Amino acid sequence: MAHTKEFTRRAGSQESMENWVLGESTCVVTAGTKLFGNFNCDTDLRLDGSIEGEVVVSKRLVVGEEGYVKGNIRADHMVVHGLVEGDLEISGDVFLGPKAKIYGNISSSRMMMEEGACFSGTLSVGEKK
C-alpha cells in the first residue's frame, strides 16, 4: 500500500536526521525480499530486503540494518543502517548509522555519520552550482 505522507519524528526526541521514522503510509520492502531491476517509488521507502538495480525515491529512503542496495540511488533524503554498493545522489540530507556501509560516491546537501559507519568513496556536500 503506497500513500503519500511525510516522515515524522519520534515524540520527545531531538530534531536530527537519525530520529526520522516512517509515516504509516510508506512503501516497505521486507527482509528476505529480493528485487532485481530498476525500482521507482513516489512515496517514502523502507528497505529491509535487497534491490539490485537503480533506485529512485521521490521522498525519503531508509535502508534498514538488513537492507542492501547494489546500484545507484537518487532520493530527496536518505538514512542508511545497512549496505549500499553504488553512488548516492541525494538532494537533501544523508544520515549514516553506526552499522552503515557505503561503497560509492555521495552527493548531498548535508551529511551526518555516526561512529562505526563505513564510507569508501568521494563526498560532495553543499549546494550544487
pLDDT tens-place string over residues 37-61: 999 999 999 999 999 999 999 999 9
First to last CA, the chain: 37
C-alpha grid cell, residue 96: 549514516
Q: 83 near 65, Cβ under 8 Å?
A: no
Q: Determine the distance from the C-alpha atom of residue 30 to the mean position of all C-alpha atoms in its chain, rounded to a whole number.
A: 15
Range of the domain at 91: 21-117
**Position 104 pLDDT exceeds 90:** yes
Domain count, the chain: 1
Host H or E run for residue 40: strand 39-41
Calpha distance 46→48 (Å, rounded): 7
pLDDT of 128 reads: 65
pTM of the model: 0.81
**Position 81 pLDDT exceeds 60:** yes
**Position 27 pLDDT exceeds 50:** yes
Please report whether residue 106 resides in a domain: yes
**Position 19 pLDDT exceeds 60:** no
Please report whether residue 5 resides in a domain: no
Please report whether residue 52 resides in a domain: yes
**Position 13 pLDDT exceeds 50:** no
Confidence grade of residue 26 (pLDDT, cut at 50, 70, 90): confident
